[in-house]
Structure 1
Amino acid sequence: MTSSGTSRHDFRTVSSEDVHVGRVVALRIDEVEMPGGGTAKREIVEHMGAVAVVAVDDAGEVVLIHQYRHALGRHLWELPAGLLDHDAEEPVVGARRELAEEVGLDAARWDTLVDEAASPGFTDEVVRVFLARDLSEVDREVQGEEEADLEIHRFPLDEAVRMVFSGEIVNSSAVAGLIAAREVLEGRAEPRPADAPFRDKPTRFAARKK
């Protein structure tokens, strides 16, 4: 909280330079006005934004995937997830697409669990995590070599949460989503609607593609 009678500094961007614009991310350097009159450079990774799904079946088991992540050099336990394909795509539509593509499932009931800022010190990436229930099987179309390699498993939700606290699950959206899902399913929290406003949905990188 700010003290009464004080105002927050406006961190205005006075210049911006593109360093790299790729297929999935862009890197720019902003020069930003700082309190006291000086400026500082901030390296920002722009991202499309993403969705992830905690899909829980009637037996209380959650669907996880085991997938290779080159940045860490190993396979990680994760939720079904993926990029939002374009700025106009509704997040729940993207989540439904990813659930079908990655694990061959659809859901009749969707809720918003959490919005997770991946690392706001240097990237605008935010992941919206959904809770999907009343699951049904659909045809799964493998989209590429990475999805062909992933393994699909189901765990009791309590076991998945145990894996979070043991360090077996480190993917940030999985950590946040699994803990949030247990809070909701055990009646200690209320989820938001599937179409709840997504205040921090990234837009800058998507705008580059138009």
Structure 2
Amino acid sequence: MSDKFDWLKPHGEPWSVTSAKVVYDNPWINVTEHQAVAPTGHPALYGKVSFKNQAIGVVPLHADGTVTLVGQARFPRGNYSWEIPEGGAPMGEDPLDGAKRELAEEVGLVAADWRPILTMELSNSISDEVAHGFLALDLSSTKAEPDETEDLAVARVPFAQALDAAVAGRMPDSLTVALLLRVHHMAVVGELPADLAALVLAR
């Protein structure tokens, strides 16, 4: 019996490394410079950013079809970003435990129903960072405890408004875009309870 994903098999040769040296290191990332050989056989200089945490994203979907989002100033691009609750989990930690912690700390929510919905490679041409996305349902309140460097705004908006903002480029954070689209897909294909799916798809 054939697998519908047979076409995903690898082709050609993998990359190989002849030497590597760490050129930068801090508690969150390191940068390694590699002398490498490409799948074509050509030599190449390759810099790889390695992350010391897994990326975590959570879609907190309330029973009324709204989602809770977070607004904050982001350092790398110097912009203000509205996003789903996000954070990091140490490599040895269960991503779900990290997701529960981030949801509580950032927006003061706990969920009785957790669903892993997507795993992503965020920038696999230069980084080994992997992200795990979760849907959080049956939500209730707890005390928020953001990190000392986080000045967070919180908004609760209809799912359709959040999705529209994401696909219009108003919320360009990659985890936010991908996970909102994934939840919409879940509603379309019947992976959500019918009443909740109807709220997600409402226009």
Short-chain TM bin: 0.7 to 0.9
Residue in structure 2 matched with residue 177 of structure 1 by the alignment = 179
Taking structure 1 as the reference length, what is the TM-score of the superposition?
0.82
Residue in structure 2 matched with residue 60 of structure 1 by the alignment = 65
Residue in structure 2 matched with residue 10 of structure 1 by the alignment = 14
2:158 is the counterpart of 1:153: no
Alignment RMSD (CA, Å): 2.0
2:75 is the counterpart of 1:70: yes
Higher RCO (C-alpha 8 Å, min separation 6): 1
Task: Give secondary structure in 1 for the equivalent of 2:27.
Answer: coil
Q: Write out per-residue CA displacement over residues 39-60 of structure 1, whole angstroms, 9 at most, x where no aligned residue.
A: 2111100112211100001111
State the 1:139 CA deviation: 1.6
How far, CA to CA, are the matches of 2:83 and 2:110 in structure 1? 18
Task: Give secondary structure in 1 for the equivalent of 2:82.
Answer: strand
Taking structure 2 as the reference length, what is the TM-score of the superposition?
0.85
Unaligned runs of 5+ in 2: 1-6, 193-203
Residue in structure 1 matched with residue 189 of structure 2 by the alignment = 188
How far, CA to CA, are the matches of 2:141 and 2:81 in structure 1? 24
Task: Give secondary structure in 2 for the equivalent of 1:174.
Answer: helix
State the 1:128 CA deviation: 0.8
How far, CA to CA, are the matches of 1:88 and 1:74 in structure 2? 31
Q: How does 1:61-210 map to 2 (within 5 A)?
A: 61-84=66-89, 86-146=90-150, 149-184=151-186, 186-188=187-189, 190=191
State the 1:105 CA deviation: 0.5
Letter in 2 for 1:43: G
1:7–1:162 distance in 2 versus 1, CA, 3 Å: closer
1:166–1:2 distance in 2 versus 1, CA, 3 Å: closer
Which stretch of the first structure deviates more once superposed, 35-44 or 11-20? 35-44
State the 1:143 CA deviation: 2.2
Task: Give secondary structure in 1 for the equivalent of 2:157.
Answer: strand
1:35–1:96 distance in 2 versus 1, CA, 3 Å: closer
Amino-acid identity (%): 31
Asked whether the 8 Å contact 2:54–2:95 carries over to 1, the reply is no
State the 1:88 CA deviation: 1.6
State the 1:37 CA deviation: 3.5
Residue in structure 1 matched with residue 56 of structure 2 by the alignment = 51
